[in-house]
Structure 1
Amino acid sequence: MVNAGPPLIVLEGIRRRYGGMGGQPEVEVLHGIDLTIHAGEFVAIVGQSGSGKSTLMHLLGCLDRASAGSYHFAGHDVAELDSDALAWLRREAFGFVFQGYHLIATESASENVQVPALYAGLPEAQRAERAAALLARLGLGDKLDLRPNQLSGGQQQRVSIARALMNGGRIILADEPTGALDSRSGEQVMGLLRELADAGHTIILITHDHQVAAQARRVVEIRDGSILSDSAGAVPMVAGDTTPDATGVNGVNRANGATNGGGTAGALPSLQLDPVQARHAAARTLWNELGESARTAWRGMRLNRVRTGLTLLGIVIGVVSVIVMLAIGEGARRQVLERMGAMGTAMLYMSSMPPQTGGPNGDLTEADLQAVRELPEMRYVLPVIGDPTTVRHGRVDKQVYVFASGEEMPAVHHWSVAQGRFYTEAEDRALAPLVVLGHKASRHFFPDVPSPLGRQLLIGASPFEVIGVMAERGADSGVQDYDDMVFIPYRAGRARVYQAQTQPDYVVMQAVSADKVYEAEAAIRKLLVARHGREDFGIGNAAARIQAEMQTRRSMSVMLGLIAAVSLVVGGIGVMNVMLMTVKERTREIGIRVATGARQRDILRQFMTEAVMVTLVGGAAGVACGLLVGAVLILAGVPVVFSISAMLGAFACAVATGLVFGYMPARTAARLDPVVALTGE
């Protein structure tokens, strides 16, 4: 029957030019092509190399755009379609069969066949079932898991044909499908194409071989970019007029259905999807592609172990550096805080001094100290007299710093008693001759005595009874070792050792909290100025020094973190270099994916997913290695404090590095010209 319906493909005055930019000469490959093809036709376009037939095929398959003229597909002007609509056409209407097979080398036969359905949003189980059915019909049912390099040329071409049929294959564009095959395999491929034509598929065969072209029902000869002849004698069939054998290739097609429309080859659906259907298809495609991209990335990482390992090393070093550097910085900060906190993070020091206006030193009396104690901002007020004094026991004597202070000394300095006890307020008021030894002082005066409690020491000219030994403390920077001191009650010290002392050398005070230190200092200053009528005293704020030290430590931690972050950036640059290399190596794969219906954002998403996959693995390995390195440092005695936020931040930065440094290679891949990509190596 003669097809009375409108033509499927109409080309009018099609021209294709290359060059003409940047001083390059312009070359016109196609010179005003006029061609009409109806649904169901089996057309051979024959011509010698350089005649323009491959360029014409690329235009027909929407891989390229004409420089001039019009191309109408199913009544739609192709020039008005955006890139997504063209991708939809390639996915739903066309199936490509190439001379070089153009299979993805790292994918199995089944996975290669499934590629068009992946971008159509078909669920994985249905994709696998349909691919298996197509391959089984084409005699490859036992080759599903083999990769292209494990198949013969004829088998690879049959996989290519199965891929072309995956989404229905309404129009098969076959570019030299027998050119790389032996005569027997070539006959098998041509037999399959004839069978598809008999089933109602539109077949457009590109060849240089006139004998191959003669097997088509219509032969169009092209030479030097112009149509030389067109047999146009064959009678195109209306799709659906035939009744193919249920066991034929089309039987597989009908049994499984196409992703959009199904039905017969010539009955093409509208170019516009239903909005709800489009939304669901887009959602399916997104999740399918993310899973596929992750799988492809993981396979690529395994196949390129050395390169992947070197790339991961940069990310791992960066993450480990961030985690360990920040952990060391935090450990040092807390160690300093703990050590200085032993002095009191809310500590103030006061002593008498000459007023700035001149005159004698002030005098800090017991009444002054009692008034300060009663301020609501204050917790402790501890007067101190201290000076090196000769201390004797038996034949042993030594100049020791004798520290005369009140009973609050252990609480103020966060210092515990290891043996015995500390003196009480009542004993202080009673001028009791009691002494508590520092750790080293105890060993110096009583080296062979397990417990010196109850023993006598001569401090100056007065005997004192040992009632306790302080825990080992060590020395703060710039001062005498606390463990060499001995401690006596303040009033007993003034009465028995420091008789000439009329007031404390200095007063240690502690505010109720670190937040109240500045308020406490202001209150003390106001109180004493009111009592003395002048400022004849000085107040030192230990908390301010501690806070300054903490700020310095915090700045050091930030600097260490920034230095470590440089390592992460270097690792990210490594990811970008590897991804650029990957894009170059997989140029042809990109072209294949575009030819089978991938959009630019699909290619972008795939390579972005692969970049992020590398950094995800590197980030996870970096966190694990960071914890391991930290554990080793802890065993070595280095103060290390891990931060969950630092680890999460380092991991997030690693992933962000993949996104940032993977974007440019992914964008480069997405913008590749499909025709150039297909011819790439």
Structure 2
Amino acid sequence: MKRDTFGVPAATASAAARTPLIELSGITRSFVNGEVVTPVLHGIDLAIYPGEFVAIVGASGSGKSTLMNILGCLDRPSGGTYRFLGEDVAGFSRDELARLRREAFGFVFQSYNLIGGASARENVEVPAVYSGMPPAERHARADQLLATLGLAERGHHRPNQLSGGQQQRVSIARALMNGGRIILADEPTGALDSKSGQDVMKLLRQLSAEGHTIILITHAREVAELAARVIEIRDGRIVADPGPHPPAGPEPDFTPHVDRTSSLSDVIEATRTALRALRANLFRAILTLLGIVIGVASVIAMLAIGDGAKQKVIDQISAMGTNLLTVRPGAPNQRGRDTTATLVIEDVRAIGDLPNVLASVPEQSASITVRYGNTDQRTSLNATSADYIVARKWDVASGTFFSADDEARYATVAVLGQTTAQALFGGADPIGQYVLVNNIPFQVVGVMTPKGATPWGQDQDDIVFVPFTTGSLRLTGQRFLRNVTVAVDDVSRIDDTQAEVSNLLLARHGMEDFQIRNMASVLDTVSETQNTLTVLLGTVAAISLVVGGIGVMNIMLVSVTERTREIGIRMATGARTRNILQQFLIEALVVSAVGGAIGVAAGLGSAAVIAAFGTPIQYSLTPVVLAFGCAFATGLIFGYLPARKAAHLDPVVALASE
């Protein structure tokens, strides 16, 4: 059946003249505490018609406040039937009850129940926020109501800046914001001085004269006597009731309001409320931000360091050549036998004739002393061929590399690495100068471009290159090779070329007395290792992000506990479950989003500072997006439980919270 704004059938609402506005039949209410059941209301029968001014009077503990909570749909009865305009409200959902409170009722509480962090005007506007009234319209209506009640100059004051009488008038203005066709006033003069109390009662009588239905709860007989109908309640039972006393004149208008709420407007208003709450608890919000900031910054900085280290190693290996096969002497997985006399120069030439081989280069190493003038330098020797610079893709910075002709004629020429050249000559030009290599004069014909350190820390520039023939004859006295470096032309066929080299050497040597290392495979292995380390770093950093998320949840739980009464006020003025859920969830999301944004800046800044000290750093968009997304998700996940707890509080329990 289609329901109007109050949740009752439209046909029923049109028959209001023949139907009580509120009708209670056999209402009971008991409170359960463990195994103890305390009955408060015992079979209340009551009918209230539109436009009546009803006072329910009774001593403390008589059940009158419990009855008011049931009348205002803040609480549900334990038994009996409650009909609003003929419709049983027992079948109403939480949101339908909220809509009934929002559109039909206005509450005036003894303790005012104003939201401490909001101004008088913002307090008055609360019901209109949940009915979807546009901001400009509700601002104007709130100002009009405050002006009518003599508070025109107090709209921007907060509750603690107002007197008790002024706070109660703000409460009345709030009750009238959405029309307030039924005003429920619970001890409205109980906390006021006599003058303020008289003013409030004058207002209520004026509202009654204007057609509002007034239900006044009081313990003071003199206050109750101002109503047209006085109902006495004692020990949870009505002991005196003169019966309905509808006012003369036309039936009050109960045309339902048009619900103008929308999902977008709800989110916008929830965001405003959340920002106001965060601003009111700024220091706590900053502390909550801190956990997210540290988590996000750690993730970004750690991943930047990990990616930087990975890229540095990859660059170093790539600089050595990724299209290379390195053939070393010695059988795989064997020890205790001579592994130095297995590769010779003839193997190099045979390998060079294989297809897809760009260059086959012999390498023979030794530790040598190089002297120029009075300067000695202990360095490494590499006796190799003219194709070395082709295989290694290593250019000459000045001069030339030795040639095949120099090899053929056993020329005593040398090419220096940058470290060796700097140690011997400083800033002077070494080209054409003679150096002593193990006391044998060699002419310097070139200097190599700087290469840097290997992944294992060896300085590749601390070296001297000489022709293999010269080095073998005059410096090392050996014809066997340390290794053979093979450069392949097509890297996609490097595995096939490796197999061909292996078969060739097996055929030549008659046994597997060599090992072949594929640099492309080495690069893949190192890359996988670095990826694992990067993931490890990221995981460690992500733990701090999770800890930050737990901090968000803890702070939001504290916030819900501290603001339980505010939640009750919002529910009493018509907030739906989703409104409360959105408000607290958006608070958590705002904290996480702002913390994530600051964390991104802090992480990038930290990485820049670390890079300034020489640590390799690599920035990429993925860690930034990942960290910020995780921060946002953290707010969503860890903020949901506190938000859900707030949204499912019982209004009457929330209002009773201290």
Q: TM-score, normalised by structure 2?
A: 0.89
Work out the CA distance in 2 between the residues paired with 1:398 and 1:630: 38
Deviation at 1:453, TM superposition (A): 1.0
Contact 1:45/1:213 (8 A) holds in 2: yes
Deviation at 1:55, TM superposition (A): 0.7
Secondary structure of the equivalent of 1:483?
coil
Corresponding residue for residue 398 of structure 2: 419
Corresponding residue for residue 17 of structure 1: 30
Go from structure 1 to structure 2 and tell me whether the alpha carbon gap of 1:13 and 1:400 turns closer, same or farther (over 3 Å shift).
Answer: closer
1:145-160 equivalent positions in 2, closer than 5 A: 145-160=156-171
Work out the CA distance in 1 between the residues paired with 2:429 and 2:350: 37
Q: TM-score, normalised by structure 1?
A: 0.86
1:383 to 347, 358, 362: 362
1:53-452 equivalent positions in 2, closer than 5 A: 53-232=64-243, 234-237=245-248, 240=250, 265-269=252-256, 281-283=260-262, 286-353=263-330, 366=346, 369=349, 371-372=351-352, 374-376=354-356, 378-388=357-367, 401-425=380-404, 427-428=406-407, 432-443=411-422, 445-446=424-425, 450-452=428-430
Is there any run of 5+ residues in structure 1 with no aligned partner, and where? 242-264, 271-276
Could you tell which deviates more after superposition, 606-615 or 419-428?
419-428
Work out the CA distance in 2 between the residues paired with 1:582 and 1:398: 71
Q: What is the one-letter code of the residue matched to 2:256?
A: P
Work out the CA distance in 1 between the residues paired with 2:332 and 2:254: 105
Contact 1:45/1:205 (8 A) holds in 2: yes
Secondary structure of the equivalent of 2:517?
strand
Is 2:467 the counterpart of 1:456? no
Deviation at 1:364, TM superposition (A): 5.2
Go from structure 1 to structure 2 and tell me whether the alpha carbon gap of 1:182 and 1:478 turns closer, same or farther (over 3 Å shift).
Answer: closer
Work out the CA distance in 1 between the residues paired with 2:377 and 2:566: 87
Contact 1:93/1:268 (8 A) holds in 2: no
Work out the CA distance in 2 between the residues paired with 1:444 and 1:159: 87
Could you tell which deviates more after superposition, 174-183 or 637-646?
637-646
Contact 2:100/2:574 (8 A) holds in 1: yes
Contact 2:332/2:515 (8 A) holds in 1: no
Work out the CA distance in 2 between the residues paired with 1:185 and 1:679: 24
Secondary structure of the equivalent of 1:660?
helix
Work out the CA distance in 2 between the residues paired with 1:71 and 1:519: 88
Is 2:448 the counterpart of 1:470? yes
Could you tell which deviates more after superposition, 432-441 or 528-537?
528-537
1:556-595 equivalent positions in 2, closer than 5 A: 556-595=533-572
Go from structure 1 to structure 2 and tell me whether the alpha carbon gap of 1:233 and 1:371 turns closer, same or farther (over 3 Å shift).
Answer: closer
Deviations 1:192-220 (A, max 9, x none): 21222112111111111111111111111
Percent sequence identity over aligned pairs? 50
Secondary structure of the equivalent of 1:17?
strand
Go from structure 1 to structure 2 and tell me whether the alpha carbon gap of 1:595 and 1:520 turns closer, same or farther (over 3 Å shift).
Answer: farther
Deviation at 1:342, TM superposition (A): 2.4
Could you tell which deviates more after superposition, 72-81 or 631-640?
631-640
Q: What is the one-letter code of the residue matched to 1:587?
A: T
Work out the CA distance in 1 between the residues paired with 2:284 and 2:85: 48
Go from structure 1 to structure 2 and tell me whether the alpha carbon gap of 1:146 and 1:460 turns closer, same or farther (over 3 Å shift).
Answer: closer
Work out the CA distance in 2 between the residues paired with 1:602 and 1:62: 18
Contact 1:39/1:237 (8 A) holds in 2: no
Deviations 1:130-185 (A, max 9, x none): 21122122222222111111111111111111111111111111111111112222
Go from structure 1 to structure 2 and tell me whether the alpha carbon gap of 1:316 and 1:353 turns closer, same or farther (over 3 Å shift).
Answer: closer
Secondary structure of the equivalent of 1:486?
strand
Go from structure 1 to structure 2 and tell me whether the alpha carbon gap of 1:236 and 1:466 turns closer, same or farther (over 3 Å shift).
Answer: same
Q: What is the one-letter code of the residue matched to 2:23?
A: V
Is 2:532 the counterpart of 1:552? no
Work out the CA distance in 2 between the residues paired with 1:512 and 1:196: 96
Go from structure 1 to structure 2 and tell me whether the alpha carbon gap of 1:207 and 1:397 turns closer, same or farther (over 3 Å shift).
Answer: closer
Secondary structure of the equivalent of 1:342?
helix
Work out the CA distance in 2 between the residues paired with 1:469 and 1:678: 85
Deviation at 1:15, TM superposition (A): 0.5
Q: What is the one-letter code of the residue matched to 1:375?
A: P
Contact 2:564/2:657 (8 A) holds in 1: yes
1:659 to 625, 629, 636: 636
Could you tell which deviates more after superposition, 179-188 or 385-394?
385-394
Go from structure 1 to structure 2 and tell me whether the alpha carbon gap of 1:14 and 1:410 turns closer, same or farther (over 3 Å shift).
Answer: same
Is 2:620 the counterpart of 1:643? yes
1:673 to 631, 637, 650: 650
Work out the CA distance in 2 between the residues paired with 1:477 and 1:356: 24
Go from structure 1 to structure 2 and tell me whether the alpha carbon gap of 1:109 and 1:327 turns closer, same or farther (over 3 Å shift).
Answer: same
Corresponding residue for residue 488 of structure 1: 466
**Cα RMSD over matched residues?**
3.0
Work out the CA distance in 2 between the residues paired with 1:329 and 1:414: 28
1:48 to 42, 59, 71: 59
Corresponding residue for residue 517 of structure 2: 540
Contact 1:42/1:218 (8 A) holds in 2: yes
Could you tell which deviates more after superposition, 655-664 or 296-305?
296-305
Go from structure 1 to structure 2 and tell me whether the alpha carbon gap of 1:189 and 1:355 turns closer, same or farther (over 3 Å shift).
Answer: closer
Corresponding residue for residue 611 of structure 2: 634
Q: What is the one-letter code of the residue matched to 2:636?
A: L
Contact 1:314/1:571 (8 A) holds in 2: yes
Deviation at 1:294, TM superposition (A): 2.6
Deviations 1:249-300 (A, max 9, x none): xxxxxxxxxxxxxxxx542439xxxxxx86xx442xx333333333333333
Could you tell which deviates more after superposition, 583-592 or 384-393?
384-393
Corresponding residue for residue 245 of structure 1: none
Work out the CA distance in 2 between the residues paired with 1:390 and 1:635: 36
